[in-house]
Chain A
């Protein structure tokens, strides 16, 4: 049974009579479903190995980047005071800063593998605690931004594709150009000025407490965070739908008297969903990275702002842990997107890359 089964392999199913080809299809079905189940496991196993290798490589890069960056953490620890060479040496010894690079890396790696994310130099507290305290706000911000991107981005793209070149389409193109061209920190400043300073509708700082208060406090940050990705996803959705609109099966659907809104939903948007899903995956990771800028601009005490402040004081353990966290999110989101492909397009099968 061919892996993708479709485009080329289909004709091999049977060019004889209907009866002959019918039985060929039925035996093929059994093979297909049995191998599909084992495919999922093989796929999952392979991705787990890939995840481990990716994290290992990323950990090495992150550790070396922090190690090679100019500036020394002990300078921050001393807070600008001058210290005796003895004091300096004891600090360096305490944080193992005198060990050679491979030894430092190995110690860090084995600690991470045991779930020990180390101790923050800046706060002298376990990194894990510091992160979990800041996680809810950041997760909520990313969640709100993701919903905005999905609703506004895909919605605008669909509106655009309904009548390409029309008034709505042109308006969407202009608005998305502005959205894509505006950096999130600039958007943050404009939003604060208009909605907090001038209109006073939203707070300009802080992340609030309790679900609704948090949602209220995070509205402007989520808008600033999502703007670029709304524009990008709208354009990707539009392009994917236009590509699908010119396909012959759409002309066939119209020739059969199927109402236009159903043609757009079932035959255009549905078929464009694969490309839109890929872009949505990239969007999530992009949002995670952009929180660094947006949380700082709105004075939110989340993971992003924490990374920002930790980098500036050379708080190695925190920078490394957050960087690894971002890499993990990236790999995980891609895995989820890959797993949705077979649901979006029956021609795609997990692990097809291996057996093809």
Chain B
């Protein structure tokens, strides 16, 4: 694939480079991921936004080579120049231990309840022979300090910590091997609001301190605008719009992005009913001929349902794309207080 070759030219190497990723599950009519293109540059934060079932979690997991059982994948997934989809078990383990790490949604479910926090932190380094006990412990202590937790946490069990503290542990664990890429899958969804803000601030701080690239998966557009340099909006297994976070938020080019923004409840406009997007995400048992959003789109014309829209560059915007037949003729409403 020529796109793959392009990414390997040294000056433009991306930390995460996904091209034409297609993932199919057994017993479905269309692929769960249907030609996903996504780039995360070194040290960059990209938010991957979409409704539940749009494929955003699957996309982020594909970066670690974690595909559901029975899934078939094609396309290119490269992390730090290494092709993930062709890796054997050994190479995958090395990728997961040293190059990329994931922060999961619910730390309470994600950390083994019967083992000490210290074991959780040092386990990946130690079981792969990447560090001896003392080195791993020192690294764990440094990272606990970086996420604002005291040393004694090492000897405690997960049930002795609050959800926010556990998510800090999860973040510290993800940074143990100094990865080039962090994948955060809705890392604040399971937390209460005040803790959410702390965790987001912490992630931003650490991400700039460690120079790690971050793919932030969320359904929350506002949060995406706060944390991310760039945003990629996903719908039914396709990326429908990408671009710099502020511009996408203020001036969306895809009707789906605009609809998501309109459906976000906000405090500064209390009057009026909340806009909802009519209909639901198309189910995996139905094939989609044209634009996947056509059935729910207020601006759809006949052509939208017949042919799949090309992903095209947005004029006058750097590294921005949109996949909509009508985007050049539409004027869409952006997010409220921000533009």
Contacts and interface: CB of A to CB of B under 8 A. Distances in A.
B128 A257 contact: yes
Interface string A1-43: 0001111011111110111011001101100000000000000
A258 B159 contact: no
B173 A14 contact: no
B329 to A, nearest CB: 44
A254 interface: yes
A300 B309 CA distance: 83
Given A257-B128, A270-B114, A347 B149 contact: no
A80 interface: no
B165 A262 contact: no
B87 to A, nearest CB: 11
Q: Chain A, interface size: which category?
A: 35 or more
Nearest to A345: B114
B123 interface: yes
Contact of B163 (A11, A26, A248, A347): A11
A10 B64 contact: no
A271 B119 CA distance: 15
A262 B123 CA distance: 10
B275 interface: no
A255 B64 contact: yes
A129 interface: no
B216 interface: no
B93 A257 contact: yes
Contact of B165 (A13, A251, A259): A13
Contacts of B114: 270-271, 344-347
B111 interface: yes
A247 B123 contact: no
Nearest to B156: A25
Q: Chain B interface: which size bin?
A: 35 or more
Interface in B121-179: 123-124, 127-128, 147-150, 152-153, 156-166, 168, 173
Interface in A270-322: 270-271
A266 B124 contact: no
B316 interface: no
Given A6-B159, A13-B165, A15-B194, A256 B115 contact: no
Contacts of B149: 18, 22
A25 B192 CA distance: 19
Nearest to B61: A255
Contacts of A148: none
Interface stretch (B23-31, B43-51, B99-107, B286-294): B99-107
A249 B159 contact: no
Contacts of A337: none
Nearest to A13: B162
A252 B156 CA distance: 19
B163 A10 contact: yes
Contacts of B128: 257-259
A140 interface: no
A5 B96 contact: no
A260 B92 CA distance: 12
A253 interface: yes
A21 B111 contact: no
B265 interface: no
A268 to B, nearest CB: 10
B106 A248 contact: yes
A346 B109 contact: no
A47 interface: no
A347 B89 CA distance: 34
22 contacts: A10-B162, A13-B165, A14-B165, A18-B150, A26-B150, A248-B104, A248-B110, A249-B109, A249-B110, A251-B110, A252-B110, A255-B61, A255-B101, A256-B101, A257-B94, A257-B95, A257-B124, A258-B124, A266-B112, A266-B123, A270-B115, A345-B114
Given A267-B112, A345-B113, 8 more contacts: A5-B159, A10-B159, A14-B162, A15-B194, A254-B66, A255-B104, A258-B93, A346-B114
Interface of A: 4-7, 9-15, 17-19, 21-22, 25-26, 28-29, 247-249, 251-260, 262, 266-267, 270-271, 344-347
